[in-house]
Chain A
Amino acid sequence: MIESIQSLIHTVAVGLLVLSTIPLTMTMIRLMSGPGYADRFVALDMLTGIAVSMAALACIVSGQREYLDVAFGLALFGFIGTCALAAFLERKGAPRK
């Protein structure tokens, strides 16, 4: 019973890991098409979220809890990155000459 549950969780996690490429692709399309900086930065922020979920799914698939540390680190750096990009965007928009 336990064995079958374990394998079920494993299978589901692998399936979801594959499925998570769909939002990943959508985000990548937005990241590439833009059209403004703001859109790209929003997409980048979203990308961090997807990376965190993928790390969590990888933790389930591999059974190694270190992946949770990876997820934590990714969330941390994603946040700092977003803050930095936002600061950049705020200053960058100076009127064109």
Chain B
Amino acid sequence: MSILFALISIALQIVGIFFLFAAGLGLLRFRDPLQRMHAATKAGTIGAGLILAGAVFTVDSLEGVIVGCLAILFLLLTAPVAGHLLGRAAYISGAPLVGLENTDALQGVVQRHQESSTHRAGAHTAATNTRRIPAMEGVRFAIIAPDETVIAQRALDIGQQHDLPVQARALIDRNVVDHAASPEKTREQIKHRLADAIGRVETRFAQAGVRLSMFYSEGDAQKWIPSLDSDSVLLVLPQAGWCDHGVAPRQLDHDAEQLIRLARAHAGPCLLVRELRPSHDRAHVVVVDDSTERSVDALLWAVQARLWPTTLVTLAQSDPGRVAVFREALASIGWAGDVHLGAAQASTGQHTITPPDVLLRVAPLDPTDDVTIERVWVDYLNAAAFKEVLMFPRKT
């Protein structure tokens, strides 16, 4: 063995150990799994490879050299594959992304599980329902121009109130573009309107000092706006308007129907907002009672999530026996207020003291009811009877 080889070998080993040390340090000091992986896979592989190379320079048999070179080659080939698999798995499993500076570019592209509570440092629960509805863990809203400010403000308020992450979804409805007389021109118009709206929303959030993660796409709103798997996200939608952002001619019925379909595709609760209520103003909540536990759960969830301060609840489509059930459930969480039986139809508020301004109901049980019930919903929205409508998923 020549002296040169020996010196090269020693140098390679020392550099290799240095890289391993750097990798270990990175593994220890970085703040989230993906950053740690960045250190471990890159520096770790080069460290191990260099030390192997150092060993190859000291062996004098040909087989040794071949095996050593193969090992280095193998390390270099597998490191990116293993790193990619591990990174993808970490992302999907909901590992925290502390180092993320801008918006999460994979959002909506790769399905991601909710961060489990063990991952989170100060795990907070905005509303803890002892029953079947999980606590709210995030707020999502749709940017629908030109009236996006009300929705954005409501989502911002809820996010601030509970210190929850807020996501915005800005969609261009491809159906509208495709069916327009001149698709290119329509797309341009929609893009401009949406860009303006996004700008206004971002400014508003920046002023409030709340971090907003934005998702922007063109495609099917039913696919991108609702959260299809996570029932702990509150979706905030307007009661009118659609993802053509005011470019196509207004069709109230069509818009309301689309919005209701969004709300029903969403796995968690959905809040359809018409106008902002003064935050201290007591809401008169109308609960459309479907005679199941789910209605009770939904009201408990809403009270605990403090969406509105409320002391007055009217039960619609209910019977006297249910009043006691609701009272008991609400008393169990320490809520003091009045529950009484309202008119048979939720949309008529004449029998009550103050006009109801919030409607709460669980999505209909029987799918065959869908057509008629959706019809009723469209009428509710178009009648402008309620400032806010909270729609609950049937099952979690």
Binding between chains A and B: yes
User: What is A's interface to B at a CB cutoff of 8 Å?
Assistant: 1-2, 5-6, 8-9, 12-13, 16, 19-20, 22-27, 29-30, 35-39, 41-43, 45-46, 49-50, 52-53, 56-57, 59-60, 65, 67-69, 71-72, 75-76, 79, 82-83, 85-90, 92-96
Q: How far is the CA of A35 from the CA of B96 in the complex (A)?
A: 10
Given A86-B86, A95-B229, A36 and B3 touching (CB < 8 A)? no
Q: Report B83 CB to chain A, min CB distance, Å.
A: 8
Task: Find B47's partner among A2, A8, A45, A49 (CB 8 Å cutoff).
Answer: A49
Given A56-B55, A95-B229, A90 and B24 touching (CB < 8 A)? no
Task: Find B17's partner among A16, A25, A90 (CB 8 Å cutoff).
Answer: A16
B9 at the interface (CB under 8 A from A): yes
Decide: A26 and B25 in contact? CB cutoff 8 A: yes
Q: How many A-B residue pairs have CB under 8 A?
A: 207
Main secondary structure of the interface of A (DSSP, over half): helix
Given A50-B48, A65-B64, A45 and B41 touching (CB < 8 A)? yes
B85 at the interface (CB under 8 A from A): yes
Interface size on B, residues (CB 8 A): 61
B124 at the interface (CB under 8 A from A): no
Q: Which residues of B contact A72 (CB under 8 A)?
A: 67, 70-71, 74
Q: Which residues of B contact A76 (CB under 8 A)?
A: 74
Task: Find B27's partner among A12, A27, A68, A69 (CB 8 Å cutoff).
Answer: A27
Q: Report A50 CB to chain B, min CB distance, Å.
A: 6
Decide: B23 and A49 in contact? CB cutoff 8 A: yes
Closest 7 CB pairs of A and B: A23-B24, A26-B24, A93-B93, A65-B64, A38-B90, A38-B33, A86-B85
Q: Which residues of B contact A67 (CB under 8 A)?
A: 55
Task: Find A82's partner among B68, B82, B113 (CB 8 Å cutoff).
Answer: B82
